Amino acid sequence: MKRYTPAVLGFVFLAATCGRRQVPFELDWTRLVGGVEVREEGYSVRVTHDGGFVLGGMTQTKPTGGYPCPFVVRTNPEGEILWTQSYQFGGCAVFHVVEQTSDGGYIGVGYTEVGVGGRADCYLVKTDALGDTLWTRSYGTPELEVAYDVEELPDRGFLLVGFTNATEDNSHDIWLVRTDAEGRMVWNRTYGGNMDDVGYRVQRTQDGGFAVAGYRDGGFVPGYVVELTALLKDSCQAYLLKLDSLGEVEWEKTYGGPKPEAVMDAMQLWDGGYILAGLTRSNTAGQDDVYAVRTDRVGDTLWTFTIGGTDIDVAYSVDTTPSGGFILFGRTDSFEADSAGQKVRHKNALYAVELDRSGKVLWTWPFAVGFSDIGYCVRRAPGGGYVLSGAAVDRSINDVEAFLSRITP
């Protein structure tokens, strides 16, 4: 991670796609993290206790054929880098999510091929406030396990969600792992049928239980969620699972039509209901469309939203807006993107969509920070606006870099 771009990459104020009203945001700043012959991707961004940001993902040095390894970037509120850390343990490893913990340190979760299991194990790393490692844990079997999300619990333990294929029929089931504050496993649970089920998000709910979101009956998807577009089976359905505090099932719901649907991100809302975001291939004009579902507190659908063009459009992340609506963030291959004040057609461009609380679209924004971009995460930023993370091809070095951007009103 050799450089970043401190300059503001211009600002954008454009008419939204599909005849919607103007986008009320500007691209305030963008930081590119990486360098020549180094591939980096920023899978998650979170707001830190001091109003700054922490970016998590993976880095890989290409000339040496090095393994991907997890990395963390800590910035101030203006996106200026305070420190970076990467974690090398002798094999392939990735952080899918990094969050600040209640003690001021950080927790990173993903997978590693160096651990107690075989092909890959769930991977948890706890650091201090400067990103230095305090402990690492891996959880697995001789089969394949991957973790996609982590939640710190009130007792400072952690809850991980992902999948395992240590099943009798060799399918992939959702895997939930509860640990203590030192990362020692307290219990684990599996959920699924005789097809492939994956959990991408976990959240502690208002009643002290947990909600898990992802997909079921979808087919196995190796690696990160971006590969979903090519591999999901028609039987795949978006999935929301409600558990009590010990991981016992209270209820489960599926959502979708005759073609694949999958949830990439989800959260519980103030009224106890949920917002789900991801992709749908049912009744679309192209391949995948952006997909959102709003439910009540028992998972029953209140409304469903889809938008897209003739190619691939996916929401990888969702957050709430100050007005009580929602912002979706991901990628589009269907629409011309705004790049430095000009409209261009990219194979991958960033795509932001704002909905009001009833699911009505307010504006859509295809835009670019590099030559080819994928947006993985959006979070509300202190003081207004949103912070975004993902991966972008930097024209100046022709390589993939992690990006951190902020859009403001």
Q: Is the pLDDT of residue 224 over 70?
A: no
Residue 124: both structure tokens together: 């948890």
Q: How far apart are CA 74 and CA 332, in angstroms?
A: 28
Q: What is the pLDDT of residues 164-214, one digit of tens each?
A: 987 777 678 999 999 999 999 999 999 987 778 999 999 999 999 999 999
For residue 292, the model assigns a pLDDT of: 98
Angle at 331 between CA 384 and CA 60, to 5 degrees: 95
Domains of the chain, earliest start first: 17-408 (2.130.10.10)
Q: Is the pLDDT of residue 64 over 50?
A: no
How large a percentage of the chain has pLDDT more than 90? 64
SS3 241: strand
DSSP letter string over 144-196? Answer: BEEEEEEEE-TTS-EEEEEEE--STTS--EEEEEEE-TTS-EEEEEEE--SS-
Question: What is the amino acid identity at position 102?
Answer: S
Judge whether 307 and 353 are in contact, CB under 8 Å.
yes
What dihedral do alpha carbons 310, 313, 319, 320 form, nearest 10°?
A: 0
Q: 176 or 397: which carries more pLDDT confidence?
A: 176
What dihedral do alpha carbons 193, 197, 203, 205 form, nearest 10°?
A: -30
Residue with tokens 């697995």: 140
For residue 48, the model assigns a pLDDT of: 98
Q: What is the pLDDT of residues 249-303, one digit of tens each?
A: 999 999 999 888 999 999 999 999 999 999 999 987 768 999 999 999 999 999 9
pTM of the model: 0.90
Q: How far apart are CA 164 and CA 235, in angstroms?
A: 20
Question: What is the amino acid identity at position 394?
Answer: D
How large a percentage of the chain has pLDDT more than 70? 85
Q: Is the pLDDT of residue 225 over 60?
A: no
Q: What is the pLDDT of residues 66-115, one digit of tens each?
A: 778 899 999 999 999 999 999 987 678 899 999 999 999 999 999 988 65
pLDDT band, very low/low/confident/very high, at 17 (cuts 50, 70, 90): very low
For residue 181, the model assigns a pLDDT of: 98
Ranking 100-109, 149-158, 334-343, 349-358 by mean pLDDT, the lowest is 334-343
Judge whether 268 and 211 are in contact, CB under 8 Å.
yes
Q: What is the pLDDT of residues 348-396, one digit of tens each?
A: 899 999 999 999 999 999 998 888 899 999 999 999 999 999 999 876 6
For residue 384, the model assigns a pLDDT of: 94
For residue 65, the model assigns a pLDDT of: 59
SS3 81: strand
Backbone angles phi, psi at 229, to 5 degrees: -60, -30
Average pLDDT over residues 307-335: 94
Return all residues near 356 (Cβ < 8 A) that are at least 6 apart.
Answer: 323, 324, 325, 362
For residue 5, the model assigns a pLDDT of: 34
For residue 7, the model assigns a pLDDT of: 31
The set of long-range contacts for 152-157, using a CB threshold of 8 Å and a minimum separation of 24, is: 152/99, 152/101, 152/102, 152/107, 153/178, 153/204, 155/180, 155/181, 156/101, 156/102, 156/103, 156/181, 157/181, 157/186
